[in-house]
Every structure is written in C-alpha cells, then in structure tokens.
Amino acid sequence: MTSRKSVYVTRAIPSQTIEELRAHFDVEVNPEDRALSRDELKERLKGRDAAITLLTDTIDGEVLDAAGPQLRVVANYAVGFNNFDLAAATRRGVVLTNTPGVLDDATATHTMTLLLATARRIAESDAFVRQGRWQGWAPMTFVGLDVDRQTLGIAGLGRIGRNVARKARGFDMNIIYADMHRDADFEAETGARHVDKPTLLRESDFLTLHVPLLPETHHYIGADELRAMKKTAVLINASRGPVVDEPALVEALKAGEIWGAGLDVFEDEPALAPGLAGLANVVVVPHIASATPQTRLAMGRIAATNIIEVLHGRAPGTCVNPDVLKVTA
C-alpha cells in the first residue's frame, strides 16, 4: 500500500476544511497563529504534495525548489494571488489556484461599511464616547458627510466593484467607473457612467478601489492623484495595500487634500505608514473584508476541492496558471 499524500496548511483555517482534506490526505497545519518566515515556509513545504497558503506566503522559484519536485499544487486561501510567481510555478509543473467569487458579497458589504463609517465619523465618535468625553448632544459635534445621492467612483469594475455599485444604489448614489473595458449592460442596470481616470479622480465624492495588484496598478493612487481629488472626497481601499502610496496618503490627509479615508489593507502589512494610525480622519481595520463565517468556509471548500482534484489527477476549478495544465496533462 502506498503512503497517503501530504498537505501542509500555512495558517489555521476553518476546521471543516482541514477535516475535508484529512479524509483524503495526511494534513499538517502551522500550530502558531502567525505568518511563517521565508525560511520556515521553505522547510515546511519540503516533501509535500500540496499546500494551502495565504497572501503572506510568497511562492516563488526558490521556495518551490526547496519544496521539491513532489509538490503538485498550491492553493491560495484568497482571491488574490500576487504572492505567486506564476511563471516559476508553471515551469516546474506546479498548479496554482485561488478562491474567487465567494468573497464578493462580504467584501462589497465591507467596502460600504468603511465608506459609511468614514463619512459619518463612526470610529472617531465611538472613541470619544468611550473616553468619557461626551457632555451631551450638540449641533456641531462630529458633523460628517452625506452619502445619499453623492457620486461614487469605482476604480476597477470586476465582480466586487459591480457588487459595490449595486449596494450603493440603495443610497441613490451616482455611479461612475474607470475600467479598461466599458460595460453597457452594467450601465443600463445601474445608470453608471464610464469615465477615464482623471475624470474619476475629479468627480468622485467617494472613490473605492477594486483594481488587482499588477505592476501597472502599483501606487494607482499617489500624490498627484490625491491632489486631483476633491478636498471633500473620501478614499476607500479594500483591494490591495500597494495600490495606494501610503506615505503620500498620510501627507494628503494631514494637509486636507482629501477629507478622509477608510482602509482595510496596507502597503506593508501589518505595519502602517508612519503617522497613519494617529490621524482622526482615517478608519483603519486589519484586512477583514472577507471575515464572515460563510465566506471563510466557502473559501476553504474551494481550496480543499482544488487540492483534491489535482492530487487525483484532475483539473482544478480555479487555476490561475492554466498553461501548467497543458504541461502536466
């Protein structure tokens, strides 16, 4: 009898996912609630047939070589995969997968939560009350921004961007969007208007980012873009931290170049740019856009299914380097 294949999970995820994998394979999970160092990752992937990874785990040629030729599939427990070197994996015949689709509702709802919390100064006023500083109602205390019937700009019209737009319609927001491709059906459904990036920056009362992290979207919002926005504008980022030049954002918030920001992700997580945490006009939360039980379970189900399929000689449902399937077929 041949030994069971081995799967390593780099961070604790829902137990249901682990048990699903254990029905087929030997599974080991990182026992510590922290990201692995690069050396630890290389050591713990040695001899594995598969791994479930997070965005904090860089999977490149060096790591794959350390793991050895036995490694067949790496399943990201995330929709993003900027931690993957696709070409390096494809050259080595390693299948890479992600978990798209199941995060859309949770992330779009979280985006709107950040937007509303920033506009109505929820975090700031909550702290004020908890500190015992509230002396009673006053007409000018924590005056925020209107959301209803304001202009929402969406950078990147993927699944999450579309979902945000549909939710924003409940506030009668005017929708504009910038994307490489115009979508007439989306425009008919939402009344949205396709614009170029300068128009998006100039006209948005609230600007939410949903672009993937690519070389061309690194610092998609920088000092020049922040100066082009309205002084009353709010920037929301629940996509990837490096699409915003975080030090430039700190300076813009300090100088009043924009009114506020709501951030779920950061350029150098978990570190924040110096000065960011001390600003009252920014809401900062620890990368929790997809943090609901249903979403986490659905992500695990996709990751586990992808590993099961590949290790049983079948194509996975969400391969991000599809050329490898031609090589390994």
Known catalytic residue at 240: yes
Of 126, 182, 116, 174, nearest to 150 by C-alpha is: 174
Rg (CA), the chain: 22
How many helices and strands, by DSSP H and E, does the chain display?
Answer: 13, 12
**Is 181 among the residues known to form the active site?**
no
Distance (Å, whole) CA 55 – CA 98: 10
One DSSP character per residue, 64-112 reads HHHH-TT--EEEESSS--TTB-HHHHHHTT-EEE---STTHHHHHHHHH
Say whether 287 is catalytic.
Answer: yes
CA angle in degrees (0–180, nearest 5) for 224-226-228: 70
- The gap from C-alpha 104 to its chain's centroid, in whole angstroms, comes to 10
- Annotated catalytic residue within 40, 203, 269, 309: 269
Run of H or E including 207: strand 206-209
Of 22, 38, 91, 287, which is the active-site residue? 287
Please identify which of the residues 240, 246, 257, 267 carries the catalytic annotation. Answer: 240
Using the structure block, give the residue that is written with the tokens 């873009």: 225
Distance CA 277, CA 224 (A): 22
Give catalytic residues, as residue numbers: 240, 269, 287
